[in-house]
Chain A
Amino acid sequence: MNVNVIGGGPGGLYASLLLKKSNPDWNITVYERDPADNTYGWGIVFSDSTLSALREADYKTHQQITNQFIKWDPIDVYYDGEYIRCGGHRFAGMMRADLKDILRERCAEVGVEMHFDTAIDDPKALAAESELLIGADGAQSVTRETFSEEFKPRITDGNAKFAWFGTEKPFDVFTFIFRENEDGLWRIHAYPGRKSTFIVECTEETWRNAGLDEKSEGEGLAYFEELFADHLNGYDLESKLYGWRNFPLVENRTWYHNDENVVLLGDAAHTAHFSIGSGTKMAMEDAIALYEGFEEHPEDEDAAIRWYEKERRPAVEALQKASRHSRKYFENVERYTNLDPQQFVFNMLTRSGRITYDELGIRDREYVDEFDRWHARRSNGTEAGQTVATPPMHQPLSLRDVTVPNRAAFSPTPSSDATDGTPSEPQLRRLTDLGLEGVGLVMTEPVAVSPIGRITPGTPGLYEADHRDAWASAVERTRDRADGTTLGIELVHAGQRGATKPRTYGLDRPLPEEDAWELLSASATPYTSSSQVPKAMDADDMERVREQFAHAAELADQAGFDLLQLHFGHGYLLSSFISPRTNERDDEYGGALENRLRYPLEVFDAVRTVWPDEKPVTVKLPATDWAPNGYDMGEAFTAGTRLKERGCDLLTVVAGQTTANDRPKFDTGVLGNYCEQIRNEVQVPTMSTNYLTTTDDVNTQVGGATADLCHWYPENVDVNSL
């Protein structure tokens, strides 16, 4: 078989080596546009699992590679004058140039033909004379661009600027340095090698402030040598091809083109941010999979190539997902600089979603013990040292005079068997039953502030003295048996989503006309195509509903609840004002965000006024509409800030459902991500509504400053039953 390879990097060379070794009769030719001894990168990093794959694939190169390895396992972080080490991560690294030397020699040994200084301008012509063409020509792949119709690449650039440097200064472990100067915050990713790698990353703004867009190479290097003089200890920085780039995330619809037998490999097919592990590792794993494909299907190129993509894609996509989180973290580090160094580092270590609290404990027990002690000191507001501290989930949280004893919360979904707003016995019993499970906070399901504010005819309410007495009895029962659990009530006006059937029938199924009631909303637009058309609220309606919220708050206080939550999300009444998709008003309550927030904030103020000062008020706030031209994170930051200014004590972050035709994401971390961004951008405590089922999830989110409280769905408790 006649195989041509474009690109003489580790991926292209390793694939050639493996294929040639196993098929000595094949003609394999590598074309590399640069000279043989030229390499732009510095060090590369491997993990343990890659190593065993290399060993299987070609023992000789494995030996040569591992002989060159420098191994280490801690990660060191320098931030805000503090130094924190976390061990157990197991890395191995070497110089990219050395790896290429090893691979080149071995390729020559098995008979791969290599042409350096040879650029392929016309991959199509080369493909025509190949039985297999391997595009291993990097992130800027010409092969990929030539066949872009087939591969359908998508390339998105990151926001941050970065540049690679090398230095003789020995960094002995992975070292992250975060340093602020007059120009902004700099992030350094440094790691060991024959020479150390030293990557500088910053926001575009910082980059401009420092004048790096105009500085020469010499000036640029001098700037960082001075700024990081304490870490470089007088060693110089070196640059091979000085330049600042934005990280390109490369994805392709497919990695092979059957008609021409072209296959992409390494960065040409997919990139992953430099902060989570090198592209070299992925390229070499690709090479192994491609070779294995031909071992599995020796007589059938199409099947072999398909096998390669099938084998690699799940692993690559998982890594790219983690890479995306990691990149976003590094692009937005400024958001986290209010965190204490201990939490800053924990947040950084768990950023990609691959490492959790428990996982860190396995890697470095001492580090986690120290973190637990720090977290316990902070949560208890004392400096007193503890020898052994319980994990973050079990630390208290103070909101005004109320202390939530731990960080897990139960918050059940709407149920439907109340009568005229009076909660049913099962609804009340649920509060008590959940209250006995030991979580810090038990919320009620959404409770309506008026008859027409009910979601279904069976939605419980709080607008009559009878309702108050019923809730009060449940609160008392719970306190008798579980003193210390914080009890919260969530107040809602269903607005456009009112007058529906119980949710066992599906969401938003309208009641038959004869059973329905008139609905109110910001505008006269129905929630779904089959929903009833609501009335756009006039001034009287707004005053009345505001008073209903305040009245319900008074009753809630009388019933003995510790905490009150207002529902601003999910398309209910207050949400219909906030979202530009449902608010079509042309008065002072419509239009710009400040106007759309006006009425919900008036309701908040009215409630805050009657609700006792010593008790917290929280708001369930949407992070995004998940819809084009909708409310988004930028608006959520503003809304959160306004609420915080008015005395809101915590935000419960939800997303979507503000319109029925939203496009939600059910990625298991997505609500946590929104929650984390709002918490750290607005500097307000948050509750995560992510579907968390384990204590590890809760510890990771609370520890990493994603949330201060977490909705929790442990396996043994049916939080949503009824």
Chain B
Amino acid sequence: MQVGIGLPNTLSNADRELTVSWARKAEAGPFTSLGVFDRLVYDSLDPFQTLAVCAGATEEIRLSTSIIAGPLRSNAMVAKKAATLDVLSDGRLTLGLALGARKDDYEAADSEYRTRGRRFTKQLDELRSYWEGDEIGPDPAQDGGPELLVGGSSDPAFKRVGRFGDGYIHGGGPPRAFAKDAEKARAAWSEEGRPGEPTLWGHGYFALGGEEQAERGREYLLDYYEFTGPFAERIAEGLLTTPQEIIQFIRGYEEEGCDELLLFPTVADEEQYDRLAEIVGNEWAGE
């Protein structure tokens, strides 16, 4: 398993300096990928543009949109943006897509919420067609298009993984929650007749440095996931706040067959990066 780090793009005080230095350091450090989240009606940076800036500031680290709400945007636009980012990063893009559950995002984007599932399926189908076809360039740097990860935990979501994905991106939670969905993704993969196994990505949240940071992290998660009702508390409870918790979490995911685990900050300051890098770099010897 490899470990990636999330950028602070949904944390309100992430500026250019923090974002770029975070990305540069990650490339040198123990991390193998950078992640971003996607939220429209929120004080956050656009995921594609954030990654584009980081693509310019780095050479080797993988860039992943993990996860963006696909049907919020038109299919051709996603195809073009992703292909562009893939070209400009020299084939480093992993495109993680899911439905997105925020109604207000959809309303603000003038995109119908109710039909988003059906439209998402069509989008996944069309993305490949755009990348393979000649009408809308550029040709992605990766053969057949960027690595495509599909998220969600409903039956239609797993079908999309089997049908269109190169792998599955899990929405977060303790290792056993990941294990349950990973098993379904593998089953879907096998039952849909795809060769090999799906690539599996996971997510976690951290806030290191003491109770005050942990509290800030929890407040952010309660706010970010407020729309999920009681579930927000469950997410906030899962916040990783000590080195031990981080290591246990990483080991848990590794045991369940995760290929890449992204750890996302909940507090936007450089110290958060350094603390995580130290733990991952020194105490966990991954691939």
Which residues of A come within 8 Å of B, CB atoms?
A: 303, 306-307, 309-310, 412-416, 503-509, 528-530, 570, 654, 656-657, 660-668, 671, 689-691, 693, 713, 718, 720-722
Contact = CB atoms under 8 A, between A and B. Distances in A.
B195 A666 contact: no
A503 B193 contact: yes
A306 B233 contact: yes
27 contacts: A307-B230, A307-B233, A309-B230, A412-B195, A413-B190, A416-B195, A503-B195, A507-B162, A507-B164, A509-B132, A570-B193, A656-B191, A660-B163, A664-B155, A666-B184, A667-B155, A668-B187, A671-B191, A690-B187, A691-B190, A691-B191, A718-B196, A718-B197, A720-B194, A720-B195, A720-B196, A722-B196
B191 A528 contact: no
Contact of A691 (B129, B159, B187, B196): B187
Given A303-B233, A506-B163, A693-B183, 14 more contacts: A504-B195, A505-B128, A506-B164, A507-B163, A507-B192, A529-B125, A654-B191, A664-B155, A664-B158, A668-B183, A668-B187, A691-B187, A713-B186, A722-B196
A327 to B, nearest CB: 21
B128 A506 contact: yes
A662 B230 CA distance: 32
A413 B193 contact: yes
Contacts of A663: 155-156, 159
Contacts of B216: none
Given A306-B230, A310-B234, A529-B125, A666 B188 contact: yes
A310 B230 contact: yes
Interface in B188-208: 188, 190-197
A691 B186 contact: yes
Among all A-B residue pairs, the 3 with the closest Cβ atoms = A691-B187, A306-B230, A310-B230
A180 B201 CA distance: 54
Interface residues of B, number: 33
A652 to B, nearest CB: 13
Nearest to B187: A691
- Which of B125, B190, B191, B233 has most chain A Cβ within 10 Å? B191
Given A310-B231, A310-B233, A666 B125 contact: no
B191 A666 contact: yes
B191 A306 contact: no
A506 B158 CA distance: 13
A571 to B, nearest CB: 11
B144 interface: yes
Nearest to B156: A663
Given A506-B165, A530-B125, A720-B196, A664 B191 contact: yes
Interface string B158-195: 11001111000000000000000001101110111111
Given A506-B163, A664-B155, A664-B159, A415 B186 contact: no
A663 B157 CA distance: 10
Given A307-B233, A528-B125, A663-B155, A507 B187 contact: no
Nearest to B194: A503
B210 interface: no
Interface in B25-82: none
Contacts of A689: 191
Nearest to A255: B230
Contacts of A529: 122, 125
B203 to A, nearest CB: 19
Contacts of A306: 229-230, 233
Q: Interface SS of chain A: helix, strand, loop or mixed?
A: loop
Nearest to B177: A314
Contacts of B230: 306-307, 309-310
A642 to B, nearest CB: 25
Contacts of B188: 664, 666
A512 to B, nearest CB: 8
A507 B193 contact: yes
Interface in B115-139: 121-122, 125, 128-129, 132
A136 B135 CA distance: 62
Contacts of B194: 413, 503, 507, 720
A578 to B, nearest CB: 18
Nearest to B129: A530
Given A306-B229, A528-B125, A666-B158, A720 B197 contact: yes
A414 B233 contact: no
Contacts of B193: 413-414, 503, 507, 570, 657
Nearest to A720: B195
Contacts of A720: 190, 194-197
A110 B282 CA distance: 56
B5 to A, nearest CB: 29
Contacts of A660: 163
A503 B230 CA distance: 40
Contacts of A309: 230
Contacts of A506: 128, 163-165
A315 to B, nearest CB: 13
Contacts of A656: 191
A386 to B, nearest CB: 35
B113 to A, nearest CB: 17
Contacts of B195: 412-416, 503-504, 720-722
Contacts of A721: 195-196
Contacts of A509: 128, 132
A530 B144 CA distance: 16
A506 B121 CA distance: 13
Nearest to B127: A506
A504 B233 CA distance: 39
Nearest to B181: A666
A683 B247 CA distance: 52
Contacts of B197: 718, 720
Contacts of B184: 666, 668
Nearest to A502: B195
Contacts of A718: 196-197
Contact of B192 (A416, A528, A657): A657
B233 A666 contact: no
B145 to A, nearest CB: 9
> Which of B125, B128, B186 counts the most A-chain CB atoms under 10 A from its CB?
B125
B191 A665 contact: no
Chain B CB count within 10 A is highest, among A412, A689, A720, for: A720
A192 B132 CA distance: 68
B179 to A, nearest CB: 12
A570 B194 CA distance: 13
A530 to B, nearest CB: 6
A77 to B, nearest CB: 32
A153 B159 CA distance: 28
Contacts of B163: 506-508, 660
B153 to A, nearest CB: 10
Contacts of B122: 529
A665 B155 contact: yes
B234 A505 contact: no
B234 to A, nearest CB: 6
A215 B191 CA distance: 51
A633 to B, nearest CB: 17
B76 to A, nearest CB: 15
B283 to A, nearest CB: 27
A662 B231 CA distance: 30
Given A306-B230, A414-B195, A666 B190 contact: no
